[in-house]
Amino acid sequence: MTNTDLQTTESTTDGPFPFTALVNQESMKRALVLNAINPTIGGVLIRGERGTAKSTAVRALSDVLPEQTVVSDCPYGCPPDAIERMCEECRHRTQAGESLPTETRPMRVVDLPLDATEDRLTGTLDIEQALGEGQARFEPGVLAAANRNILYVDEVNLLDDHLVDALLDAAAMGENVVEREGISHRHPAEFILVGTMNPEEGSLRPQLLDRFGLVVDVEGVDDVADRVEISDRRAAFEADPAGFRREYAEKEAALTGDIVDARDRLDSVSIPVPVKRAIAETNIRLGVDGHRGDNTLRRAVRALAAFRGDTAVTTAMLREVAGMALDHRTVQLPFEEESTSVEDALSAAIDEHAT
């Protein structure tokens, strides 16, 4: 019997497979929800063999995210009530006293194809028009469409490195900057970045791997009862997609509500000083370069606390997310027989600072 998770399935015209109907794969689902609560975590890379529901989970996520209000005639879908997050045109219109037209839209998954060019990703500037009329016309790319949505890159390890660099730069800055012949254009590019890959088909450079906030590894389900349940649910979805989605509508709505509530309480979640020290000590013990590991772990664990309805982070929460935030940032030195695990480093740090 192969170690393949049969819950992988394509979306239908009735909508994607319900997120709450996914069996097992708790770490993957947790990482996606945490990024939905706090996109500044920096996205998630999901690694696993074919058929482990990676793509299914990503597409299902969009269905449980809350709808958002956008400027209806803006190509970037700017938020009408947050001038600091607007594109230049929407900002100018607002400052001029114009009432911007709005509409409510669901969040969606924007795909970046493997054969995409840099222009397709970032957008293009019409230099000839700039020379003739003094103003460059900008043709938006994938990053423009992804603003305030989910940007999904399947088989990200097969994407050209320069595209991955541009993608991760935009994700880190929340902005896309296109420069041609001394002329530049910038627009907001805030998105939940999700990459998936099969490690058997190649790996990401460590410098790129480190730029993903969270990394989770998924495997096929070996439990007999779970595999039967996966197959049953897939068969039911394929037989009647709309009916199957109705069965999970209440659970889907409840998860959406939990995400909305978590976003609202996120800023009020505190991290006690002993927990802060344990986070720092863990990164030191693991030899994690820079401060990205500390910052990511803080953001992820605060999102988890907000999702749970708690007002303060605990060491138990740290244990739930430390691996996905730090495992990919540890480097095993040449000739080193065994490196310190995240779990061991965290336990020692908690013992020293948080007990």
* Residues carrying an active site annotation: 292
**Is the sign of the CA dihedral 28, 30, 35, 41 positive or negative?**
negative
Name the E strands within the chain: 44-48, 68-71, 102-105, 109-111, 124-126, 137-139, 149-154, 175-180, 183-188, 191-197, 214-218
Q: Which residues contact 191 (CB under 8 A, 6 or more apart)?
A: 39, 110, 143, 146, 147, 148, 149, 150, 151, 171
Of 216, 223, 222, the residue nearest 199 (C-alpha): 216
On whether the CB atoms of residues 245 and 206 are closer than 8 A, the answer is no
Q: Does residue 179 sit in helix, strand or coil?
A: strand
Distances in whole angstroms, Cα of residue 228 to Cα of each of 27, 28, 205, 233, 238:
21, 20, 38, 9, 15
